[in-house]
A and B are shown apart, each in its own frame.
Chain A
Amino acid sequence: MRHMIRNVFHSPKFVWGFGIFVFILIFCIVYPLFNPGNPLEMLQVGGFAAPGTYVNVYDTVAADINKEETLKIKFRLPGADEKRLESVLSADDRNTMLKFLAKVGVDTSEVDVEDLDQLLELWEKYFDPTSQPKGITRADWNKYKRINNAINRISSTDRRSVSEKDQDGQMAAVGDFSSIDYVSVDEVANHITLPLGTDNFGRDMLKELVSATLTSVEMGFIAGTVATIIGLLFGLLAGYVGGVLDDIITFITNLFTVIPGFVLLILISFSIGQEQRGVTTVALVIGLTGWTWTARSVRSQVISLRNRDHVNLSKLSGHSLFRIILSDILPYIMSYVVMAFILQVSSGILSEAQLSLLGLGPKSTETPTLGLMMNWSMLYKAHTSGYWWAYFPIILTIAGVSFSLNLMNTGLDQVFNPALRD
């Protein structure tokens, strides 16, 4: 037995699969410890915030002006002005600038909108705020002047002041800061990091995903265990006892095989009703419909085993049917059953995702599952609106989990099946 386990861990495929799976699991268990809270809490008003760190604007300014002058940290970062300009001058603004340059007679075919330096150089050369060239409407001229002002404002090293209304309702400066003043994110009272952004309800995607992965894997395990136990029991009985029992079990198995499993799953889920569908219920339903091929393959394995001499010898030693099945048949197919179990877990996870995607998964108010998250992102059109963070990480997680499980299965197959060894 120990030898077998050592062999299993010598298979690179199994080790990779096992590694990926364990990594995903550990991450999902550890992450909530550092970032506790209800994964379904709606943080954002609205939805679909892109991944990133969000800093409260109000607090940033407040932190700045209420601190002592000496606490202010100053950086001179290379390219700070350019970055600022880039963030202020939108693509529209740049095209407007280009339009102006064309009107005053510059050959714009050579000018690249993306090259801010070149654009600004030309702008400084041709734009004179004091004289309005002919052929430009007033509305356009105002627009150009606004852009010019913005450019000047950013380029200037003047300090900005923050004003508050005093008791008389007059604005009075309470502090000022310059373009090289910095404040640490930690000193801002309110800020939030969203590595995967938020979903349509404004919930932290990563937190939700971590919780969903755990739930989905748990459901996979419940479904896999149920399917394997039923399949094993039926397969062992049908294969070893044979006769009428075999006929009956084979009939039931065939019946379940010819009815498309997924349709059955949909029908059962639908008839249970939204309110009754908890995580365990759905997992049980998946397990109860997925045992057929385990039963079939266990049965065929047992049939090939039951005529082996060691089983005959065990019979001759007067062992009971129960004991022969447990000690002479089961150990021989155990490796196979483990492999089947892993595949059942994987297919359980996928079935849950499929069911939930159709809106027939567990109740959506308690715990997220991978399928439910897919369902939400589909309902709120994340995929058509370009909110990639709302569906892509889910797909990646489902793929990662089932890939790692299948890799483990293939690795085990190579270890246990001599025909596949090199």
Chain B
Amino acid sequence: MTYEELQNAPLCLSGRQLTKVFVNGKVSKTAVDHVDFDFHQGEVISIVGESGSGKTTLSKMLLGLLNVTSGTIYFKGEERKIRTMAQRRAYWNGIQAIFQDPFSSYNIFHKIDAVLDDCINMRYGRHIDKQKREDLKTEACSFVNLKYAELTNKYPFELSGGQMQRLMIARIFLLKPQILLADEPTSMIDACSRATILDMLLKLRDETGMTVIFITHDIGLAYYISDTVYIMEHGKFVESGSADEVILHPKAAYTKRLISDVPKIHEEWNLDDVFTGEE
């Protein structure tokens, strides 16, 4: 689908004046500062920012893992409610996440089977017959090119980083949420395996029509994967729009600087043009 088509798709997740302030004694720090956004069904959105820009805080708030200081999040057009456990469970059926570090994303005491079973329980209920369960697990694993038969009785830490991250995608495949939030899912993985993970995420989007929110610091990666790019600086979105527009024709000074700071291959990377404001 083109960018315009996606912009006309129904709204999936949006936020109005979303703010998070961390208070520690008398010191308070605004991590996310009155941001507005509209994420549409089937869109791949990248939120790009440097460390400390508040992108991880924003992702935690979107997931409902962190309380919102002020502002509202709308999920499928309605205000999100996550007060009770039941409401939270319902919300988490709609939004799921892949985290940055595959090595700390798994409970090392649980086997791979248990990880997948959890997802099946969540989506299909506990009382699903054994054969169906096996079939689902096999399907999910084959979607990410893992062989389920070889994984039973293994622990996640026996896999490589790339395989662990693919198992995460298998988890998402089983859960089939409307929104997937991927928080730097490839930053701990070698470049060679990165392409596979990215392709799988895109394939998952194509097959299930889910919205993918991609949080990253790598602007090249954001350009490759996303339809829409949001650039974040000090808790605010400084620029947003289609990937081509934002990356190739940036308007905000921060975006221009960010793009000029990334080493390039086809264009010249001007080392003398450095931003010296930070010192």
Binary CB contact string for chain B from 87 to 116 against chain A (1 if under 8 A, 0 otherwise): 011001100110111001111111000000
B122 touches A (CB below 8 Å): yes
CB of B12, distance to nearest CB on chain A (Å): 17
> Are A327 and B107 interface neighbours, CB within 8 A?
yes
A317 touches B (CB below 8 Å): yes
Instruction: Mark out the residues of chain A between 302 and 324 whose CB falls within 8 Å of any chain B CB in the assembled complex.
Output: 308-310, 312-320
Partner of B105, one of A313, A315, A331: A313
B101 contacts which chain A residues (CB < 8 A)? 309
Name the CB-closest residue of B to A319.
B118
B243 touches A (CB below 8 Å): no
A313 contacts which chain B residues (CB < 8 A)? 97, 99, 105-106
Partner of B97, one of A312, A328, A332: A312
> Are B118 and A317 interface neighbours, CB within 8 A?
yes
A320 contacts which chain B residues (CB < 8 A)? 85
- For A1, A315, A317, which residue has the most chain B Cβ atoms within 10 angstroms? A317
Provide the bound-state CA to CA distance between A202 and B93, in Å. Answer: 76
Binary CB contact string for chain B from 28 to 65 against chain A (1 if under 8 A, 0 otherwise): 00000000000000000000000000000000000101
A316-B92, A318-B88, A320-B85 known; A309+B104 contact, CB < 8 A: yes
> Are A309 and B89 interface neighbours, CB within 8 A?
no
A317 contacts which chain B residues (CB < 8 A)? 92, 118-119, 122
CB of B83, distance to nearest CB on chain A (Å): 15
> Are B105 and A316 interface neighbours, CB within 8 A?
no
Interface size on A, residues (CB 8 A): 17
B65 contacts which chain A residues (CB < 8 A)? 312, 315-316
Partner of B122, one of A1, A309, A312, A318: A318
> Are A318 and B92 interface neighbours, CB within 8 A?
yes
A309-B100, A313-B99 known; A328+B89 contact, CB < 8 A: no
Partner of A314, one of B85, B88, B107: B107
Name the CB-closest residue of B to A327.
B107
- For A309, A316, A317, which residue has the most chain B Cβ atoms within 10 angstroms? A316
A332 contacts which chain B residues (CB < 8 A)? 108-109
CB of A302, distance to nearest CB on chain B (Å): 15
B108 contacts which chain A residues (CB < 8 A)? 332
Provide the bound-state CA to CA distance between A328 and B63, in Å. Answer: 19
B92 contacts which chain A residues (CB < 8 A)? 315-318
Provide the bound-state CA to CA distance between A386 and B109, in Å. Answer: 57
Provide the bound-state CA to CA distance between A316 and B96, in Å. Answer: 7
A308 contacts which chain B residues (CB < 8 A)? 104
Provide the bound-state CA to CA distance between A240 and B84, in Å. Answer: 18
> Are B89 and A318 interface neighbours, CB within 8 A?
yes
> Are B119 and A312 interface neighbours, CB within 8 A?
no
CB of A78, distance to nearest CB on chain B (Å): 70
Provide the bound-state CA to CA distance between A312 and B96, in Å. Answer: 10
> Are B118 and A328 interface neighbours, CB within 8 A?
no
Provide the bound-state CA to CA distance between A1 and B119, in Å. Answer: 24
> Are A310 and B106 interface neighbours, CB within 8 A?
yes
B100 contacts which chain A residues (CB < 8 A)? 309
A315 contacts which chain B residues (CB < 8 A)? 65, 92
B119 contacts which chain A residues (CB < 8 A)? 317
Provide the bound-state CA to CA distance between A313 and B95, in Å. Answer: 12
A316-B92, A331-B109 known; A309+B99 contact, CB < 8 A: yes
Name the CB-closest residue of A to B155.
A3
CB of B9, distance to nearest CB on chain A (Å): 24
A317-B118, A317-B119, A331-B107 known; A312+B99 contact, CB < 8 A: yes
CB of B112, distance to nearest CB on chain A (Å): 13
B89 contacts which chain A residues (CB < 8 A)? 318
CB of B199, distance to nearest CB on chain A (Å): 23
Provide the bound-state CA to CA distance between A231 and B88, in Å. Answer: 31
CB of A276, distance to nearest CB on chain B (Å): 44
> Are A310 and B104 interface neighbours, CB within 8 A?
yes
Provide the bound-state CA to CA distance between A320 and B107, in Å. Answer: 16
Name the CB-closest residue of B to A314.
B107
B105 contacts which chain A residues (CB < 8 A)? 309-310, 313
B109 contacts which chain A residues (CB < 8 A)? 1, 327, 331-332
- For A313, A327, A332, which residue has the most chain B Cβ atoms within 10 angstroms? A313
B63 contacts which chain A residues (CB < 8 A)? 312, 316
Provide the bound-state CA to CA distance between A348 and B122, in Å. Answer: 46
Binary CB contact string for chain B from 118 to 129 against chain A (1 if under 8 A, 0 otherwise): 110010000000
Q: Closest 10 interchain pairs by CB?
A: A309-B99, A318-B89, A309-B105, A331-B109, A310-B107, A309-B104, A317-B118, A316-B92, A308-B104, A328-B107
Given contacts A309-B99, A312-B63, 8 further A-B contacts (CB under 8 A): A308-B104, A310-B105, A315-B92, A316-B92, A316-B97, A318-B92, A318-B93, A318-B122
Q: Please, could you name 7 A-B residue pairs with CB atoms under 8 Å apart, sorted by A?
A: A308-B104, A309-B99, A309-B105, A310-B106, A317-B119, A320-B85, A327-B107
